[in-house]
Amino acid sequence: KVSEAALTGESSAVDKINHAFEGKLIIADQHNMVFSGTVVAEGKGRFFVTAIGENTEIGKIARLVKDTKEVRTPLQKKLDLFSRKLGIMVLGLSGVLIVVGVLRDHSFSEMFITAVAVAVSAIPEGLVVGVTVILAIGMQRILKRGSLVRKLVAAETLGSTNVICVDKTGTITIGEMRVARVITENHDLDMSKKDLSSKEELNQAYEIKKMNMIAVYCSDALVGSAEEKEQTKEEELREQILIGSPTERALLLSAIDGQFTEEDLHEERSRMDEIQFNSKKKFMATLNAWTKKQNIVYLKGAPEKILAMCSRYQNGKGTLVLSEKKRKELIKLYEKLSSQGLRLLAGAYKGVLSSKTSFDELPDYNEDAVFVGFWGIKDPIRPEAEQTILETKKAGIHTIIITGDNKHTAMAIAKELGLAPKLDQVIDGADLASISDTKLEQLVKSVKVFSRATPEDKLRIVSALQKNGDVVAMTGDGVNDAPALARADIGVALGSGTDVAKDTSDLIVLDDNFSTIVAAVRQGRVIFDNIKKMILYLLSDSFSEIIIIMIGILLGWPLVLLPAQILWINLVTDGFPHLALTQEPEEPEIMTEKPVKRDASIIDFEGKFLVVFISVVTALSTLGLYWFILKTTGDIDRARTVAFATLGIDSLLYVFSVRSVRHSIFEVSPFRNKWLVAAVIGGFAIQVCGIYIPFFQNVLRTVALGAKEWFIIISVCLWVIGLIEIVKHYFIAQRRVAD
């Protein structure tokens, strides 16, 4: 028997035989081959070497990892495109500004300095710092939720993820075998029910008690001592189980759940002899003391083996003859349960004379036994997994299960999770080889489960999804998962996985839990959301200045804002608010919206419209005040100071509007982000310093303003916010109608 976990990802050891097979088989079906990197779990043998180095299966995986090109994240692509377009536009506007200014009799040197100042302000220099801060904060928040981000830009990519390819073992399931059902002639006990008291009557049934006895006494699972703390008896017993194979541990836990008490566990049933389980016999037998006149043989193992040993079956406290018809019914039941993804074991017993104390004295120990029932064993799904799948559906995320398990087990898990796949939505690894890449690109749009998938299969699946424009997160824990992890937009390694998987991943889920992955996706969306808010704020501010300067020059006015004033607003006054936006908490709707498409712009239509609207309204309002003050006072420095104050204060106030495009400014508490409140207060104080402190007055060429002028400035700023909220209300109403 060989453990092929390194290649297939499945921990169960595989029986090896020396028969030849015809045709091309996947690794999981090559039972006559042993592979480099796998571990012999039982037995010994001599093998003929057919491949070495890179030609071995694990060598092929290493080559796949090496040849797999790292995919640039959607954020990197979007920011690059955004930067190129913005740079070209700003360069063009700066050139136009110089030409128009010179034609309007402004000096070249004055217009050149102004154009440089406008260019510096138009390019959101705070974006790089802001994005870095947002990503770093997002990484910290993700870590608090149980995941470690290995690459900074990967934190945002989580928010764009619209497909999660997940291996079930240990991620969707708990990673430990448990008895799901105990089935006897008269009872079908569902061990997954939480309310054990509702099963009390069944637990006291003779047949169930017999199954519990077989589970305990025909077992090598041991009971040790638990830690000293306040617990129920059942909790103590569950924690006391220290030693045993996964299957026997599951059976013993089942007995405890079935009201098997501590006294029962320690009842004098001394084991006199045993026949250990092995892959050839496929059963285990123990000879135990019972009464003064009788000893008892307990049997457990593969259903077909145990049924072949039985001539009677348990019916209540009595037994009945196991007819051929009844035997076929039990075999049919066994096959039905197996098709539901359960691993079946059967239990039986046989009374023998007390004088028989070893199996050497019992050549017929495996004949005329009494069949008691079946245990249905599986790796159960995590309690929160089904709810997490529902959450991903609401968020527009498609979940695909890719597993090394067989088709029936994979389908059963998918149905239990609420994915309810149809037969054509499940593809077995053996069938993938005959499917072309073009056809696979179409199939992955609807397929929900891939069973018995090889490393090459996983890589093909991820590549097909990406060609369809999907942003793919791939989970894995073994060497076999490394190529797909490297290829995926987000490679998610499990904390309990191999170092190879972790080294090729972007995110490590420390608790191996699927819900933790979804929590990281949630935080990824918050990251992208905050980046959009910051860009919206920075562009609105920058474009306002461009429009003000351009219109002022076209109208033949003296410069509305001086270069120093432009730089002051961008670098000093607005520096704190845009950084404070990096601290914005998530909005309630964040996981009910569809993911951002791979090729979508970093700012959507709504955001672009708001940038233009805010820029135009702010610019026109500022120009209006500038013209009014200039006409009424004739003081150019006072007019510029009013424009300078209006533009600065306006941007400090409308930051509360752009912090949420989903809600009105009146629906969001200003103190939800205390950093933003502090930043606005600080920005206001800095703006006042630029107007009233003599040193800054000389640098910025500002003058002190009176109360009347401040009243007008604040009124205009509130007017601008009111207009922004009207536009937001329209978009919010449209979104609600669409939903």
Q: What local confidence, expressed as pLDDT, does residue 503 receive?
A: 86
Same domain (yes/no): 501, 531: no
Same domain (yes/no): 135, 251: no
Same domain (yes/no): 387, 320: no
Q: What local confidence, expressed as pLDDT, does residue 113 receive?
A: 79
Task: Say if residues 586 and 522 touch (Cβ distance below 8 Å).
Answer: yes
Q: What local confidence, expressed as pLDDT, does residue 244 receive?
A: 67
* Burial environment of residue 399 by CB neighbours within 10 A (0 to 12, 13 to 18, 19 or more): buried
Q: Which residues sit opposite 508 in a β-bridge? A: 148, 493
CATH number of the CATH domain containing 424: 3.40.50.1000
pLDDT tens digits, residue range 716-731? 999 999 999 999 999 9
Same domain (yes/no): 725, 577: yes
Question: What is the DSSP annotation of 196-250?
Answer: GGGGHHHHTSHHHHHHHHHHHHS---EE-PPPSS---HHHHHHHHEEE--HHHHH
**SS3 at position 172:** coil
Give the containing element (helix H, strand E) for 619: helix 605-633
Q: Is residue 78's pLDDT more than 80?
A: no
Same domain (yes/no): 300, 323: yes
Residues 647-668: what's their mean pLDDT? 92
Q: Is residue 9's pLDDT more than 70?
A: no
The lowest-confidence range among 174-178, 412-416, 559-563, 627-631 is: 174-178
Same domain (yes/no): 274, 335: yes
Q: At what angle do helices 246-257 and 233-240 cross, to 10 degrees?
A: 170
Q: Is residue 199's pLDDT more than 60?
A: no
In the numeric block, the tokens 């087990």 are attached to 409
CATH number of the CATH domain containing 562: 1.20.1110.10
Phi, psi of 436 (to 5 degrees): -70, 160
Confidence band, pLDDT 50/70/90 cuts, at residue 226: very low
In the numeric block, the tokens 């996947």 are attached to 26
CA-to-CA separations, 103 to 40, 107, 623, in angstroms, rounded:
86, 9, 21
Query: Active site includes 379?
Result: no
Asked if residue 67 belongs to a domain, the reply is: no
Q: What local confidence, expressed as pLDDT, does residue 195 receive?
A: 47
In the numeric block, the tokens 């096959």 are attached to 335
Highest mean pLDDT pick, 36-40, 175-179, 562-566:
562-566
Q: What local confidence, expressed as pLDDT, does residue 170 receive?
A: 67
Asked if residue 443 belongs to a domain, the reply is: yes
Asked if residue 62 belongs to a domain, the reply is: no
Q: How far apart are CA 160 and CA 471, in angstroms?
A: 6
Phi, psi of 203 (to 5 degrees): -60, -30
Q: Is residue 200's pLDDT more than 60?
A: no
Q: Is residue 266's pLDDT more than 60?
A: no
Nearest CA to 77 out of 150, 157, 138 is that of 157
Residue 619 CA to chain centroid, in angstroms? 44
Domain that holds residue 439: 160-174+383-518
Same domain (yes/no): 593, 653: yes
Q: Is residue 93's pLDDT more than 70?
A: yes
pLDDT tens digits, residue range 608-644? 999 999 999 999 999 999 999 999 999 999 999 999 9
Q: What local confidence, expressed as pLDDT, does residue 40 receive?
A: 82
Q: How far apart are CA 491 and CA 273, in angstroms?
A: 51
Q: What local confidence, expressed as pLDDT, does residue 64 receive?
A: 72
Task: Say if residues 59 and 91 touch (Cβ distance below 8 Å).
Answer: no
Q: How many helices (H) and strands (E) does the chain have?
A: 28, 22
Contacts of residue 604, defined as CB under 8 A and 6 or more positions apart, other chains included, come to none
Contacts of residue 145, defined as CB under 8 A and 6 or more positions apart, other chains included, come to 516, 519, 520, 523
pLDDT tens digits, residue range 434-480? 899 999 999 999 899 998 888 888 899 999 999 998 999 999 887 77
Task: Say if residues 625 and 712 touch (Cβ distance below 8 Å).
Answer: yes
Asked if residue 269 belongs to a domain, the reply is: yes
Confidence band, pLDDT 50/70/90 cuts, at residue 258: low
Residue 269 CA to chain centroid, in angstroms? 49
Asked if residue 58 belongs to a domain, the reply is: no
Q: Please give the structure tokens belonging to residue 528.
A: 């992208």
Residues 198-223: what's their mean pLDDT? 75
Q: What local confidence, expressed as pLDDT, does residue 278 receive?
A: 77
Same domain (yes/no): 588, 672: yes
DSSP 570: I
Q: 694-709: buried (b, 16+ CB within 10 Å) or exposed (e) per residue?
A: eebbeebebeebeeeb
Average per-residue pLDDT for the chain: 84
Residue 464 half-sphere exposure toward CB, CA atoms < 13 A: 21
Q: Is residue 160's pLDDT more than 50?
A: yes
Q: 147-170: buried (b, 16+ CB within 10 Å) or exposed (e) per residue?
A: bbbbbebbbbbbbbbbbbbbbbbb
Same domain (yes/no): 347, 388: no
Task: Say if residues 461 and 427 touch (Cβ distance below 8 Å).
Answer: no
Asked if residue 26 belongs to a domain, the reply is: yes
pLDDT tens digits, residue range 541-562? 888 988 888 888 888 888 898 8
Q: What local confidence, expressed as pLDDT, does residue 283 receive?
A: 93
Q: How far apart are CA 149 and CA 127, in angstroms?
A: 21
Q: Is residue 145's pLDDT more than 60?
A: yes
Domain end: 341, 356, 375, which one?
375
The lowest-confidence range among 75-79, 80-84, 622-626, 641-645 is: 75-79
Q: How far apart are CA 630 and CA 429, in angstroms?
A: 78
Q: Which amino acid is at 380?
A: P
* Burial environment of residue 534 by CB neighbours within 10 A (0 to 12, 13 to 18, 19 or more): buried
Q: Is residue 7's pLDDT more than 80?
A: no
CA-to-CA separations, 574 to 467, 546, 678, 705, 710, in angstroms, rounded:
41, 16, 12, 21, 19
Q: Is residue 241's pLDDT more than 60?
A: no
CATH number of the CATH domain containing 322: 3.40.1110.10
Domain end: 311, 346, 375, which one?
375
Q: What local confidence, expressed as pLDDT, does residue 71 receive?
A: 61
CA dihedral 703, 705, 709, 713 (to 10 degrees): 80
DSSP 591: G
Choose between 296 and 735: higher pLDDT.
296
Q: How far apart are CA 555 and CA 545, in angstroms?
A: 15
- Domain count for the chain, please give it: 4
Task: Say if residues 147 and 512 touch (Cβ distance below 8 Å).
Answer: no
Output Rg (C-alpha) for the chain, integer angstroms: 36
Task: Say if residues 334 and 374 touch (Cβ distance below 8 Å).
Answer: yes
Same domain (yes/no): 204, 228: yes
Asked if residue 74 belongs to a domain, the reply is: no
Choose between 87 and 364: higher pLDDT.
364
Instruction: State what percent of residues in the chain have pLDDT above 70.
Output: 90
Output the CA torsion sign for 188, 194, 198, 202.
positive
Q: How far apart are CA 666 and CA 732, in angstroms?
A: 14
Domain end: 477, 493, 518, which one?
518
pLDDT tens digits, residue range 300-334? 999 999 999 999 999 988 899 999 999 999 999 99
Nearest CA to 446 out of 476, 423, 413 is that of 423
Q: Which of 67, 167, 360, 379 is catalytic?
A: 167
Task: Say if residues 576 and 676 touch (Cβ distance below 8 Å).
Answer: no
Give the containing element (helix H, strand E) for 490: strand 490-494
In the numeric block, the tokens 């800095």 are attached to 686
Choose between 4 and 338: higher pLDDT.
338
Q: How many CB atoms lie within 10 A of CB 712?
A: 17
Task: Say if residues 584 and 659 touch (Cβ distance below 8 Å).
Answer: yes
Q: Where are the beta strands (DSSP E) in 423-487?
A: 426-428, 449-451, 472-476
Same domain (yes/no): 562, 678: yes
Q: What local confidence, expressed as pLDDT, does residue 699 receive?
A: 93
Q: How many CB atoms lie within 10 A of CB 70?
A: 11
Q: What local confidence, expressed as pLDDT, does residue 37 receive?
A: 78
Asked if residue 492 belongs to a domain, the reply is: yes
Confidence band, pLDDT 50/70/90 cuts, at residue 172: confident
Same domain (yes/no): 537, 682: yes
Q: Please give the structure tokens belonging to residue 441.
A: 């690109």
Residues 8-28: what's their mean pLDDT? 73
The lowest-confidence range among 19-23, 230-234, 281-285, 561-565 is: 230-234
Q: What local confidence, expressed as pLDDT, does residue 69 receive?
A: 64
Residue 376 half-sphere exposure toward CB, CA atoms < 13 A: 22
Question: What is the DSSP annotation of 108-134?
Answer: HHHHHHHHHHHHHHHS-THHHHHHHHH
**SS3 at position 50:** coil
Question: What size, in residues, is the chain?
Answer: 739
Residues 336-360: what's their mean pLDDT? 90
Q: Please give the structure tokens belonging to residue 81.
A: 């495109």
Q: What local confidence, expressed as pLDDT, does residue 228 receive?
A: 44
